[in-house]
């Protein structure tokens, strides 16, 4: 059967959210997972005090959980923001200030996947200027990631929930990936294939997997509609996982869905049925 349990990573920004952040790695381990991912845990600052970085690192180490995916600073997430790197002014500067911090934290835990959310269109700003700023900052991100042996991930979201986010399909995100790799010369930018966002955007998931499953850098999963655990929506998750295997994807699948409260009760039962 494809995708045994050890290939899934729990997203600690979406699951076990009834617990304080520092208790979530142990909860993931107790649920049988050895790998986790997360959004940038300090949405209010790109440069948290060392003591906070140290405390989270210790919580992950003590739980025996491996960090396999981390967002760069992305603004207020959850909240109205969808990234900072294409947003002129203060937010772009905050993204740049975060690069070395996020890359260094990831490297200290053996994490090699850093997600760089593109950011929303800004009213009154020239979209072409935002895209130029995005490319400049993504090249900086690729350089920071390369210094620690990591990849930069570029994600498509869905227009229903993120109407101001310009990358709302796999082709748009992959085009940016190609542009970054050409501009940086490093080749370490990869597409983050979030099956929930692509499905909600109306994309043909089997076609997207066939086109990009063998070359994407990371996969995330939730059922659609609703962004709950598999079985709560309309997606044939076992079939999609099989298609990813057939396409040659051998990486992690992040469980980035809602539910389960502090205990995660019930939201992982579907894995036992695979």
Render the burial of 113-151: b for 16+ CB within 10 Å, e for the rest. Answer: bbbbbbbbbbeeeeeeebbebbbebbbbbbbbbbebebb
Among the listed residues 155, 161, 246, 273, the single catalytic one is 155
DSSP 8-state assignment for residue 83: B
Task: Please name which of 113, 115, 112, 111 lies closest in space to residue 85, comparing C-alpha atoms.
Answer: 115
- Give backbone dihedrals phi and psi of 50, rounded to 5 degrees, phi first: -55, -35
136 is catalytic: no
Q: How far apart are CA 89 and CA 193, in angstroms?
A: 29
Q: How far apart are CA 68 and CA 114, in angstroms?
A: 9
Q: How many CB atoms lie within 10 A of CB 202?
A: 11
Q: How far apart are CA 246 and CA 250, in angstroms?
A: 10
Q: Taking a C-beta distance cutoff of 8 angstroms, is the pair 234, 227 a contact?
A: no
Stated length of the chain = 274
DSSP 8-state assignment for residue 80: T
256 is catalytic: yes
Helices and strands: H and E segment counts in the chain: 9, 8
Tokens 């210790």: give the residue: 58
DSSP 8-state assignment for residue 45: -
Question: Could you give the residue numbers annotated as active site?
Answer: 155, 256
């Amino acid at each position: 059967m494809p995708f045994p349990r050890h290939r899934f990573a729990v997203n600690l920004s979406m699951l076990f959210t009834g617990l304080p952040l520092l208790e979530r790695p142990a909860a993931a381990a107790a649920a049988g997972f050895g790998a986790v991912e997360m959004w940038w845990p300090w949405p209010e600052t790109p440069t948290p005090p060392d003591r906070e970085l140290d405390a989270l690192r210790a919580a992950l180490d003590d739980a025996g959980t491996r960090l396999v995916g981390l967002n760069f600073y992305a603004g207020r997430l959850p909240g109205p923001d969808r990234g900072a790197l294409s947003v002129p002014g203060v937010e772009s500067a905050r993204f740049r200030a975060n690069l070395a911090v996020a890359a260094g934290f990831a490297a200290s835990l053996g994490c090699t996947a850093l997600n760089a959310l593109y950011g929303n269109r800004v009213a009154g700003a020239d979209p072409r200027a935002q895209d130029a700023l995005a490319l400049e900052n993504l090249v900086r991100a690729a350089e920071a990631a390369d210094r620690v042996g990591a990849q930069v991930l570029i994600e498509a979201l869905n227009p229903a929930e993120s109407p101001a986010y310009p990358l709302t399909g796999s082709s748009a995100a992959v085009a940016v990936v190609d542009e970054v790799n050409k501009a940086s010369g490093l080749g370490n930018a990869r597409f983050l294939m979030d099956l929930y966002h692509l499905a909600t955007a109306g994309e043909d998931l089997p076609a997207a997997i066939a086109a990009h499953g063998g070359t994407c850098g990371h996969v995330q999963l939730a059922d659609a509609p609703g962004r709950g655990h598999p079985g709560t929506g309309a997606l044939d998750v076992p079939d999609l996982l099989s298609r990813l295997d057939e396409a040659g994807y051998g990486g992690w699948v992040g469980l980035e869905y809602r539910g389960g409260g502090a205990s995660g009760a019930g939201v992982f039962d579907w894995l036992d049925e695979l």
